[in-house]
């Protein structure tokens, strides 16, 4: 029971936390949706551009506002590696290729589910597209390291990111739930709640450390082996794998 105040304090603290060219760097292949979700948004840098696939049209806008290209959305050409849309405006062809591999924006460092290439006439643009939150969602993540100190084998801490903006799982001893928000700037976690059981001191200590890092998360990244890394503002990390 001596460890109980530690986990209660961590849960309470978590509850109080508020939440073309070289536009992207492709990462290793991962399983993503083969059919882009509508609306689908992609962006690139140097020069900046934005592409919207929404309903029945494709719209490409250069960041300086000097050029806007709109074409009807053509039938998709799909393979295991990519989805391609080849359209044409009044002045030039517009071809969009959405690859089934993760992409990291070179300006913001944010990961996206798809690498994107755009061909406007003879001009080639590259960037990233799709909702970054979908990379977190899906199967459960099992925590394998907390703040560089490893973890006890059992019970394990877990993370589940729902499509409804809720993150939940086991802290180690107790179950927890919270809200998460992914923006162009990073990832934050807020408004938590949890059960209040007591476990062995080592388990309670691990749970307190896990929740303390989680409430301070400001960004996420992926290692080359696919492991998820949640980064707190002070540099501490949570590493999790599927």
> Where residue 23 falls among pLDDT bands split at 50, 70, 90?
low
Please state, for a pLDDT cut of 90, what percent of the chain lies above it.
Answer: 74
d(CA 58, CA 69): 8
224: helix, strand or coil:
coil
Q: Is the pLDDT of residue 34 over 80?
A: no
Range name among 6-15, 55-64, 181-190, 199-208 with the lowest pLDDT average: 6-15
Mean pLDDT of the chain: 87
Q: Are 50 and 64 in contact (CB under 8 A)?
A: no
**What domains lie within the chain, and their CATH numbers?**
4-19+134-241 (2.40.128.270), 24-130 (2.40.128)
Region 86-109: mean pLDDT is 92
Region 36-57: mean pLDDT is 90
Q: Is the pLDDT of residue 11 over 90?
A: no
d(CA 97, CA 99): 6
Q: Are 217 and 188 in contact (CB under 8 A)?
A: yes
> Where residue 35 falls among pLDDT bands split at 50, 70, 90?
low
> Where residue 223 falls among pLDDT bands split at 50, 70, 90?
very high
């Amino acid at each position: 029971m001596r460890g109980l105040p530690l986990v209660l304090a961590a849960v309470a603290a978590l509850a109080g936390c508020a939440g073309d060219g070289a536009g992207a760097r492709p990462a290793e292949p991962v399983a993503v949706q083969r059919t882009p979700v509508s609306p689908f948004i992609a962006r690139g840098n140097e020069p900046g551009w934005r592409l919207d696939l929404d309903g029945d049209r494709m719209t490409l806008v250069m960041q300086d506002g000097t050029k806007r290209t709109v074409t009807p959305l053509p039938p998709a050409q799909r393979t295991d590696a990519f989805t391609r849309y080849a359209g044409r405006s009044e002045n030039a062809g517009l071809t969009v290729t959405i690859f089934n591999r993760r992409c990291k924006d070179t300006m913001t460092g944010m990961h996206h589910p798809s690498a994107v290439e755009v061909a406007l006439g003879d001009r080639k643009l590259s960037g990233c597209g799709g909702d970054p939150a979908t990379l977190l969602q899906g199967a459960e993540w099992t925590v394998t390291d907390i703040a560089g100190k490893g973890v006890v084998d059992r019970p394990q801490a877990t993370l589940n990111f729902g499509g409804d903006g809720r993150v939940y799982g086991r802290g180690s001893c107790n179950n927890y739930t919270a809200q998460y928000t992914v923006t162009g700037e990073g990832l934050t976690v807020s408004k938590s709640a949890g059960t209040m059981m007591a476990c062995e001191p080592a388990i309670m200590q691990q749970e307190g450390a896990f929740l303390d890092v989680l409430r301070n998360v400001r960004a996420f990244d992926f290692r080359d082996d696919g492991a998820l890394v949640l980064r707190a503002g002070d540099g501490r990390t949570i590493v999790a794998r599927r």
